[in-house]
Amino acid sequence: MSPVHYVALSVILFVIGGVGVLVRRNAIIIFMCIELMLNACNLAFVAFASMHGNLDGQVIAFFVMVVAAAEVVVGLAILMAIYRARRSASVDDANLLKY
Amino acid sequence: MTPIGATGMLRESWLLLAFPVFGAVVLLLGGRRTDRWGHLLGAAAPIASFVYAVIAFFALLGYHGPGGRSRVLHMYDFIDAGSFHVNMGILLDPLSISFVLLITGVGSLIHVYSIGYMAHDPDRRRFFGYLNLFIAAMLLLVVSDNYLGLYIGWEGVGLASYLLIGFWQSRNSAAVAAKKAFVVNRVGDTGLTIAIFLMFAEFGTVSFQGVFGSVHSGGSGVATALGLLLLLGACGKSAQVPLQSWLLDAMEGPTPVSALIHAATMVTAGVYLLVRSNPILALSGDARLAVTVVGAVTLLFGALIGCAKDDIKKALAGSTMSQIGYMTLAAGLGPAGYVFAIAHLLAHGFFKAGLFLGAGSVMHGMNDEVNMRRYGGLAKYMPVTFATFGLGYLAIIGIPPFSGFFTKDGIIEAAWDKGGTSGAILAACAILGAGITAFYMSRVMLMTYSGSKRWAAEAHPHESPATMTWPMILLAVGSVAGGGFLVLGQRFENFLGPVTGVPPTAHGVWSAAGGIALALAVAGVGIAWYMYGRVPVPAEVPRGSFVTVAARKDLYGDALNESLLMRPGSWLTRLSVYFDNTGVDGLVRSVAALVGGSSGQLRRWQTGFVRSYALYMFAGGAVLVLLLLVVRL
């Protein structure tokens, strides 16, 4: 089978996620966009794994999911803390750590 | 003469150093606990060394045959690094034992004198600690068998001199004088230091035997350089022109210090150094000539200063400078002069110490007044001081049969015998110096002991206690008999000859040059009487001729140093500070400013906006991917 379509879809999803991370201000949305990028990667992994006929890509996809879950846990916790402190979920408001 | 290993009694010669070191350690570390008996221990230490020195002297006298009368006691290996070996040893030979006897003998008397002189000083214990330290360092200087050990002693006496000049630290003038002595001495010490470096570089050794054994192989250039460097060292320590300026200020110290360190012993260390280094001087006529010139100039320089000073101690200090000039002059004359340099040194040690102790006794009775214009008519009130001072006076101006006559006559004659123009000039300087000596010493005598009483209102002159008069009496005996004992019958020549070489021509007691010197001395006494004995001495300082004014100001030695060295030195310092501030610091600061400024710009990138960081990451990632693609293609 040809992975072209899967990879094309993966690229499209990744770019959407990337643009979302760069342009959106709401931290929740940014998180979701990061998830989108991770899953675009997963899709590419799985597609290539299917093309080569081994399980390596699929195993990596599982690892990505686990890491993503952990990342969300930590990230959301930070987000909650920021929201409580600043009454805002905008990442532009949390800009105190700078020059 | 090659010394051989010490045997018998001389194996204990370390005791010489051990006694005063022990005294100094106990007194200086013991603190106030030793206050009550400290002066007794302090006086006992040099006496013990003196007793040992007398025993060692007679042991040496008994030696004949191999090694002559030179014995060396190996102590320990001081430095043993690669090709550099320094063995510490104690060298007892006729030259060093003469000094040891002088240092411990006169030193003991002055210690005893100090018990009385310093009786009312709350810091008497510290004073004795320093004195013992001085005796130990001075003994190390003269008994060491190598230049490094000599150097340690040399610096040790410099330290002790500094501590004792500044003994009354609360007096600003004393502190300044101590500093001045220290600094000027360092200039001279630089010469000695470089001389020792040069010896090691050229001969690979610093022991007397090693250096003297191989100095022939170094060529006359090395010998001249060594001779001149040693002369520089001697100039600093012995207050010879051009490093003379510290000695007059050094009179700020207590009078026993002036007697012991700045008259009898330490200031003669330069003469010891030159005489000890006679194999080096023997190879360089130029260095010898420089030594004689320095000696001749200083003997007139000091004598002139001595003529104008109203401070009794400073008059005597000028005289010390002048007498050491005689010794230096003699030391530059080669084997003809060495014996008389040392003989005059020993005689001078006695009579000048006696004169200083006499001056101290007068000050003691006159509430520490030093201005001779405030003395007068003291002979009746201080008969013992007057008698001993008078005998020292007769000795220093060279009236036969007192000791100065024999020793100074030897030097004048040796200069005369040198021949040629230089010999004539040197002899003329020495003879003229003898006349001036008689003048200024008579002036001191007349202003102090005769004439009208010009005392301060509260002065009650009285004779000093026995601890002070007995040392003066013993020193006076030495001043009377010392010179004749040494010089008559060639006693000292025969004793010292194996170390320094014997004078080529035998000297009679009377000579034409000596006769002229004696006549001039009598004339000097006459002029002094004409000026200070015949008419009353004014209590206020008269204006004086321009020579007198110059001599009062130490012949502008300080002004010369200031304008020639101190001012340019401080300009140089200011220039370096300016260069440091603008040049070096400027460079460093501009580098720092560059880094600081650019990092100030760079940190603007740290905006705090998470989304811009994300953009940087994306951009970076994209660039990386692009690069990878480019490389792959």
pLDDT single digits (tens) B307-342: 999 999 999 999 999 999 999 999 999 888 899 999
Task: Mark the ranges of chain A whose per-residue pLDDT is less than 50.
Answer: none
Q: Which of residues 597-616 of B touch A (CB under 8 A)?
A: 603-604, 606-611, 614-615
Structure ipTM: 0.84
Query: What is the per-residue pLDDT across A47-56, written as a single tens digit (0 to 9) for each?
Result: 999 999 889 9
B607:A99 CB<8 A: yes
Q: Name the token pair of B526.
A: 């006459």
Residue of A26, A31, A82, A91 to mutate, interface with B, max B Cβ within 10 Å: A91
Q: Name the token pair of B433.
A: 């110096």
Contact yes or no for B411/B326 (Cβ under 8 A): yes
Contact yes or no for B318/B309 (Cβ under 8 A): yes
A95 contacts on B by Cβ (under 8 Å): 607-610
Angle between helices B269-276 and B94-117 (to 10 degrees): 170
Rounded (10°) CA dihedral A3, A4, A5, A11: 110
A21:B603 CB<8 A: no
Query: Could you tell me the pTM of the whole model?
Result: 0.81
Contact yes or no for B285/B341 (Cβ under 8 A): no
B611:A92 CB<8 A: yes
B610 contacts on A by Cβ (under 8 Å): 91-92, 94-95
B615:A25 CB<8 A: no
Can you tell me whether residue B144 is helix, strand or coil? Answer: strand
A98:B607 CB<8 A: yes
Can you tell me whether residue B460 is helix, strand or coil? Answer: coil
Contact yes or no for B482/B350 (Cβ under 8 A): yes
Say whether the peptide bond before residue B254 is cis (omega within 30 degrees of 0): no
Task: Mark the ranges of chain B whose per-residue pLDDT is less than 50.
Answer: none
Can you tell me whether residue B156 is helix, strand or coil? Answer: helix
pLDDT of residue B1: 59
d(CA B616, CA A22): 10
A98:B608 CB<8 A: yes
| Residues facing residue B371 across a β-bridge | B311
Contact yes or no for B93/B70 (Cβ under 8 A): yes
Out of 1.10.10.10, 1.10.287.3510, 2.60.120.560, 3.30.420.40, the CATH code matching A3-86 is 1.10.287.3510
Per domain, the residue ranges of chain A are: 3-86
> In this structure, how many other beta carbons lie within 10 angstroms of the beta carbon of residue B380?
11
Chain B nearest C-alpha distance from A35 (Å): 15
Angle between helices B335-365 and B312-331 (to 10 degrees): 170
